Amino acid sequence: LLTVAFAGRLFFMAESGEVSVLRVGGWPESYGIVLVLDRLSALMILLATLVQATTLWFACSGILEEEEERNFFHPLFLILCGSVNWTFLTGDLFNLFVAFEILLISSYVLLFLRPDKFSFHEAIRFVALNALGGILFLASAGLTFGRYGTLNFADLALRVRLEETSWDSAGLAILLLTVFGLKAALFPFFFWLPDAYPRISPAILPYFAGLLTKVGVYCLYRVFTLVFGDALDSWLSPWILAIAGGTMLVGVFGALSRWTFRKILSFHIISQIGYMIFGLGLHSVLGLACGIFYLVHHILVKSTLFLIAGHVVSVNGRDDLKGLGGLARSQPIAASFFLLTALSLAGIPPLSGFYGKFGLVLEGLSMGHIWVVAVSIVTSLLTLASMLKIWNYAFWGKPSHIDGDQGRGSGTLFPIGTMVFLSLAVAVGSGPLMGFAEETGRQLLDGRTYIEAVLGTEAGLHFEQLNKAKGQ
């Protein structure tokens, strides 16, 4: 609770538009560790701490199964939380890489606390792909430093804009897009997620589902607005939009073809990330605002759905839809929570998922991206169909034989209810939240405030002049 309160204080500090900077050890920005708090990073830290607190509450409600989980879960989880928060605050590429590596190491151990749930090939694939991402990230950081002589985001933004688009800068942009796309499970780098996530302990899965892929999304928003905004304006935007459309489709079709609770939800992590990347590809204030709004909605709703899935598995001992049934009668509270969050995920008004999707559709139409808009609408309809499949088989069907402990999951309903309340609060407060998201999008596109805070007023003015000279 103290962490949540502190995150709330940081959020209100950033709400005014002021960018706060901490230079660790007093080193110059080009060489030292710089932590930067702006609207986007403050929002992400607040969301992260809320999900962290709720996941920890859920885990302490009797959901941990193995002795190894109970012994190692808490220290590893805190390391994971610290590394996630670090990624949101760091102001340079190298420390972002370090935070990623700590995040991955702690997540590996948390994943394999249940070795009986992973086959050898699945474990190797998960580790190998993430190791490949780490190698590519380190290579991109080295190439960036060799090309520009700095890894600081603000310094990079200035130096990239001082030159015309070249093969070097385009190659670096594509390499970083690959690194962050792998982390965010974008098309075509999504295939590691649907097999791995359903096998993770229900105690930690809500945090993985709600936050870890959004770290990649956050990095894309940060790097491709501040550093490579020119590339996004000139040639990269159509590719980002194509990736967004492909991500939506592969995720939703994968969900439709699956018959287990957690695997359907895992594929929907992929499909819904497509909407966030849609907002980035539009590269406008409203597009970024709707993408950020949808990011907030998705973190809360997706974490809630996996909390509900963990509750169902804990109580019933299974999550295959054909083996479940009648949960609306035996567990009416959990069923009500699922119905609300499932409809929100599908974008049914007046729930929180509607506002971000509707804004993206309007902005996409106004900018002429009709095919991506069509894909987003189809994806939303198919999302509703897959959620109704879960409802019909698991909650509305005939009661099935129960292998689990009916009394075991009673304590888990309280953290689930808290997350449902937060997701409903997003819907009720959609106006002020969208206003905050618009100001965040404007701050991301402008970049001057960020650069002034890190490098000084003169650098901020220089950045603004470069933008005007390039017609932005």
Q: Max CA-CA distance within the chain?
A: 70
State residue 254's pLDDT score.
Answer: 94
Given a cut of 90, is residue 412 above it in pLDDT?
no
Interior angle at CA 66, CA 60 and CA 71, nearest 5: 65
CA distance 232 to 280: 9
Minimal CA–CA distance to 316: which of 412, 420, 434?
A: 412
State residue 358's pLDDT score.
Answer: 95
State residue 114's pLDDT score.
Answer: 66
Would you place residue 197 in the very low, low, confident or very high pLDDT band (cuts 50, 70, 90)? Answer: confident
Question: Residue 14 CA to chain centroid, in angstroms?
Answer: 20
| b (16+ CB within 10 A) / e for 143-156 | ebeebbebbbbbbb
Helix H, strand E, coil C: the string for the chain is: CHHHHHHHHHHHHHHCCCCEEEEHHHCCCCCCCEEEECHHHHHHHHHHHHHHHHHHHHHHHHHCCCHHHHHHHHHHHHHHHHHHHHHHHECEHHHHHHHHHHHHHHHHHHHCCCHHHCCHHHHHHHHHHHHHHHHHHHHHHHHHHHHHCCCEHHHHHHHHHCCCCCHHHHHHHHHHHHHHHHHHCCCCCCCCHHHHHHHCCCCCHHHHHHHHHHHHHHHHHHHHHHHCHHHHHHHHHHHHHHHHHHHHHHHHHHHHCCCEHHHHHHHHHHHHHHHHHHHHHHCCHHHHHHHHHHHHHHHHHHHHHHHHHHHHHHHHCCCEHHHCCCHHHHCHHHHHHHHHHHHHHHCCCCCHHHHHHHHHHHHHHHCCCHHHHHHHHHHHHHHHHHHHHHHHHHHCCCCCCCCCCCCCCHHHHHHHHHHHHHHHHHHHCHHHHHHHHHHHHHHHHHCHHHHHHHHCHHHHHHHHHHHHHCCC
Percentage of residues of the chain with pLDDT beyond 70: 90
CA distance 384 to 320: 19
Would you place residue 130 in the very low, low, confident or very high pLDDT band (cuts 50, 70, 90)? Answer: confident
Give 138's contacts (C-beta < 8 A, 6+ positions apart). Answer: 97
CA distance 336 to 352: 16
State residue 244's pLDDT score.
Answer: 96
Mean pLDDT for all residues in the chain: 87
CA distance 328 to 322: 15
Only one residue has tokens 């299974």, namely 318
Would you place residue 241 in the very low, low, confident or very high pLDDT band (cuts 50, 70, 90)? Answer: very high
State residue 86's pLDDT score.
Answer: 94
Give 62's contacts (C-beta < 8 A, 6+ positions apart). Answer: 314, 408, 409, 411, 412
pLDDT digit string, tens, across residues 319-328: 888 878 788 8
Beta bridge partners of 313: none
State residue 370's pLDDT score.
Answer: 94
Query: At residue 34, what are phi and psi to the nearest 5 degrees?
Result: -120, 125
CA distance 229 to 463: 12
Whole-angstrom CA distances from 31 to 136, 152, 177 are 22, 8, 24
CA distance 125 to 122: 5
CA distance 12 to 50: 15
State residue 314's pLDDT score.
Answer: 82
| b (16+ CB within 10 A) / e for 107-124 | beebbbbbeeebeeeebe
- Beta-carbon neighbour count of residue 455 at 10 Å? 21
pLDDT digit string, tens, across residues 435-456: 999 999 999 988 888 888 888 8
Minimal CA–CA distance to 342: which of 259, 289, 272, 250?
A: 272
Would you place residue 149 in the very low, low, confident or very high pLDDT band (cuts 50, 70, 90)? Answer: confident
State residue 219's pLDDT score.
Answer: 95
Minimal CA–CA distance to 281: which of 235, 246, 232?
A: 232
State residue 327's pLDDT score.
Answer: 86
Q: What is the pTM of this model?
A: 0.93
Minimal CA–CA distance to 376: which of 347, 340, 409?
A: 347
Would you place residue 259 in the very low, low, confident or very high pLDDT band (cuts 50, 70, 90)? Answer: confident
pLDDT digit string, tens, across residues 351-390: 999 999 999 999 999 999 999 999 999 999 999 999 999 9
Given a cut of 80, is residue 270 above it in pLDDT?
yes
Whole-angstrom CA distances from 147 to 96, 143, 144, 158, 463 are 18, 6, 5, 13, 19
Give me 414's structure tokens. Answer: 């309280």
Would you place residue 28 in the very low, low, confident or very high pLDDT band (cuts 50, 70, 90)? Answer: confident
